[in-house]
Structure 1
Amino acid sequence: MAEGFALHTTDVEATLGRSLWADARARLFRNKAAVASMVALLLITIACIVGPEITGHRFDQVYTDYSRTPASLTAYPRDEDIAPAIERIGSRVRGRPESISISGDLVRVVLVGQRPIDERGLAYFDRSDLFGPARVVERADEGRRLTVEVPIERNYFFFGTDTNGRDLLTRTLFAGRISLSIGLLATLVALVIGVVYGATSGYLGGRVDMVMMRIVDILYSLPFIFFVIMLVVFFGRNFILMFLAVGAVEWLDMARIVRGQTLSIKRQEYVQAAEALGVETRGIIRRHVIPNTLGPVVVFMTLLVPKVILLESFLSFLGLGVQEPWSSWGVLIADGAKNIQGATFMLIYPSLFLVVTLLALNFIGDGLRDALDPRDR
């Protein structure tokens, strides 16, 4: 009796099988490059979301004493940088540093002046990015000789700083939020509009197809920059404008790709069988046409995300996109290119994040194309 029940259960499980989406998921996870790329992209996304909150620096915080500071795993300031900084501050308070002794995060300075030193000038230590508030521990020679203890403010700049003295690691991670959000959301807008428009045009065919594609041709003839400028004039400079501007233009290529796929799909036997069974046009497009166009659509989408990121960088360069103090990878790369001779690190780190993201998207696109190809089902 138990053997018969076990045999019956096995037959039921064998009969149920797996859905097409389950098969596609299994093929995708067998692709090691795609899985590694998904992990890398996930780590970059998490780092961009969480990183700016734990680096210890605000993305717009300016350190005037650390302009174009090289990347380092050790804390700033270095011991050799402390004496020159104290000499500069001493010249402001009219007190020559006679002796400087460093003990951990505390520096002891003896200032000597020709006239009594105004202790209010010691506030220059606190205004510096290297030191904290100074404390007078000894006065001599009627105030012309002061012994001062000053705490050292240690800061880590793992990616260095930019020309304004802002932490490059924080700005790179914060810029990743902008670039990824614009790339993904604008691509999503183009995906939804382009897939629905192209599938409808290709399936209906005839005069409807001709009119819909002539509308696409007309929109192709409009200059992209002119379109963006008009949006800025009417709606003002807005972060959401980037999604509308890029998404409203990039769906044209998506529509043409989907239309070409639909023209071949609608001649397949399963589509003709659905028409013979009386399935509505909307149901055929939603259940048969669109799912079978996902292979090339996903590949194009993974190429569209980096294209959108580059477009955003171009618009920001023209003053129509992301504005200070916000930033994006494209803006950081443009700034790094201007300072490539004296501060190569300003170009390397944002470029590395962008390159890894683009490679991950390309490998994910290849994996999804292979997994969603209906010929492999």
Structure 2
Amino acid sequence: MSLSRLSGTAARRPVAGRSLTADAMRRLKANRAAMASLVFLIAMALVCAVGPHLTGHAYDEVYQSYVRVPASLTPYPREAQVGPEMEKALARARVDLGTVAVVNGTASVEVVSPRRPLDPRITRYVDRSDLFANARLTDMSPDGHVGRIVADVRQVRFLFGTDLAGRDLLTRTLMAGRISLTIGLLATLVAVLIGVTWGATAGYLGGAADAVMMRVVDVLYALPFVFFVILLVVFFGRNFVLVFLAVGAVEWLDMARIVRGQTLSLKRREFVEAAEAMGVAGGGILRRHIVPNLAGPVVVYMTLLVPKVILLESFLSFLGLGVQEPMTSWGVLIAEGARSIEAMPGLLLFPAAFLTSTLFALNFLGDGLRDALDPKER
């Protein structure tokens, strides 16, 4: 085959096109800040989902011997804590104690009962302490009045310290991340689903339909948010799912206004008029032409709505209408830490660092998505 024929064949071969989604993904991948933020958010979600199972503590486990201890990389207890804690544990046993010795992670103390023989159940006092485990009574004298209590020193780590009730702050921060991210994402999805559908329909139909639909939005705007949530709690009870349903059922109003304004501009564009001239139904125009071109502002507003929902959830929890103890959220932890910032700054700094870094990542990702989905950049 001649060279001219090969070149003619190549010239007639159709050029493979690139979809708008592929083009947007290409521009998004070129934005390093947005991609780093996306990786960070995925990692944060995974850490909050898996982390509480790996810390070695339950989120509601209370350590009465470790209330408000500071963050530390070394395990507790300190050597100076073992003796006083052993004496405190046996204070109600009515026995005389010798010197507490600690050797290779095992604490031992001589006990003397001057009035009656030692009861083997005395070890229960020691086992109740958070510092000891597997307590046993050994080296009993023939008359049973003298013996030695031996117990394993229980090593625990509190990388973020403990809160005012003696619960591991790291575990509670990760568990709070589960709640805050779940409520933020689900409430945002509810708001986007309702708001985009309502706003796009009102803007495209126009006329009397638009006027009626937007007056409904105005009426809902006039209802107090807290009053609406209280009504939901009265009728449906206090429930975790109720929180994001209540928030999402209110936050869609702003989304509807934004989408309506964008739709009023888009429905006068040439590609919409061309679709109408070809006989495409209104629903098809909304799905294929209006809504896809709304992706940019909608996605950007979503990245702003997630932190707003997290703060709203914190407000509801403060009023007793949201997340209840022993469950928690980042907002609840920050509110608790703010009250003890002078004595225990870690109670505020650690959950605030998680929340702030997540909000920064959402903002960077929102900027990247806005640039990638902007029709003017295609």
Question: Which TM-score band applies after superposition, normalised by the shorter structure?
Answer: over 0.9
Query: 1:51 is paired with a residue of what secondary structure?
Result: helix
CA distance in 2, matches of 1:220, 1:362: 26
Query: 1:319 is paired with a residue of what secondary structure?
Result: coil
Aligned residue number for residue 135 of structure 2: 134
Question: Pairwise mapping of residues 216-235 of structure 1 onto structure 2 (< 5 A)?
Answer: 216-235=217-236
Shift of 1:88: 1.2
Shift of 1:137: 2.1
CA distance in 2, matches of 1:289, 1:15: 28
Note if contact 1:100-1:108 (Cα within 8 Å) is conserved in structure 2.
yes
CA distance in 2, matches of 1:57, 1:178: 18
Question: Pairwise mapping of residues 30-49 of structure 1 onto structure 2 (< 5 A)?
Answer: 30-49=30-49
Query: 1:149 is paired with a residue of what secondary structure?
Result: strand
CA distance in 1, matches of 2:71, 2:12: 62
Structure 1 residues 315 and 92, CA gap change in structure 2 (3 angstroms): same
- Cα offsets for 1:92-136 (capped at 9, x unmatched): 223343222211211121224543444422211101110013222
Tell me the TM-score normalised to structure 2 length. 0.95
The one-letter code matched in structure 2 to 1:153 is R
Gap runs ≥5 in structure 2? none
Aligned residue number for residue 104 of structure 1: 104
Note if contact 2:198-2:256 (Cα within 8 Å) is conserved in structure 1.
yes
Note if contact 1:58-1:170 (Cα within 8 Å) is conserved in structure 2.
yes
CA distance in 2, matches of 1:92, 1:113: 12
The one-letter code matched in structure 2 to 1:301 is M
2:171 is the alignment partner of 1:170 = yes
Aligned residue number for residue 329 of structure 1: 330
Shift of 1:299: 0.8
Structure 1 residues 165 and 269, CA gap change in structure 2 (3 angstroms): same
Aligned residue number for residue 243 of structure 1: 244
CA distance in 1, matches of 2:5, 2:178: 55
Query: 1:107 is paired with a residue of what secondary structure?
Result: strand
CA distance in 2, matches of 1:301, 1:25: 18
Note if contact 1:126-1:133 (Cα within 8 Å) is conserved in structure 2.
yes
Note if contact 1:48-1:173 (Cα within 8 Å) is conserved in structure 2.
yes
Aligned residue number for residue 65 of structure 1: 65
CA distance in 1, matches of 2:2, 2:64: 80
Aligned residue number for residue 287 of structure 2: 286
Aligned residue number for residue 181 of structure 2: 180
CA distance in 1, matches of 2:72, 2:12: 62
Note if contact 2:123-2:149 (Cα within 8 Å) is conserved in structure 1.
no
CA distance in 1, matches of 2:2, 2:250: 64
Note if contact 1:113-1:144 (Cα within 8 Å) is conserved in structure 2.
yes
The one-letter code matched in structure 2 to 1:57 is H
Shift of 1:140: 3.6
Note if contact 1:90-1:111 (Cα within 8 Å) is conserved in structure 2.
no
Gap runs ≥5 in structure 1? none
CA distance in 2, matches of 1:225, 1:186: 16
CA distance in 1, matches of 2:299, 2:9: 38
Aligned length: 377
Structure 1 residues 3 and 37, CA gap change in structure 2 (3 angstroms): farther
4+ residue segments displaced more than 4 Å: 1-14
Tell me the TM-score normalised to structure 1 length. 0.95
Aligned residue number for residue 259 of structure 2: 258
CA distance in 1, matches of 2:95, 2:46: 50
The one-letter code matched in structure 1 to 2:321 is L
Shift of 1:14: 6.9
The one-letter code matched in structure 2 to 1:40 is F
The one-letter code matched in structure 2 to 1:334 is A
Q: Which moved more, 1:96-105 or 1:176-185?
A: 96-105
Shift of 1:221: 0.3
Query: 2:99 is paired with a residue of what secondary structure?
Result: strand
- Cα offsets for 1:132-185 (capped at 9, x unmatched): 132222124844432221111111111111111111111111111111111001
Note if contact 1:93-1:118 (Cα within 8 Å) is conserved in structure 2.
no
Shift of 1:8: 8.1
Shift of 1:38: 0.6
Structure 1 residues 27 and 6, CA gap change in structure 2 (3 angstroms): farther
Aligned residue number for residue 352 of structure 1: 353
Q: Which moved more, 1:228-237 or 1:141-150?
A: 141-150
The one-letter code matched in structure 2 to 1:19 is S
Shift of 1:2: 10
Note if contact 2:202-2:213 (Cα within 8 Å) is conserved in structure 1.
yes
CA distance in 2, matches of 1:62, 1:366: 42
Q: Which moved more, 1:31-40 or 1:99-108?
A: 99-108
Structure 1 residues 9 and 28, CA gap change in structure 2 (3 angstroms): farther
Q: Percent identity?
A: 59
Query: 1:151 is paired with a residue of what secondary structure?
Result: strand
CA distance in 2, matches of 1:327, 1:301: 24
- Cα offsets for 1:205-243 (capped at 9, x unmatched): 111111111111011000000100111111111111112
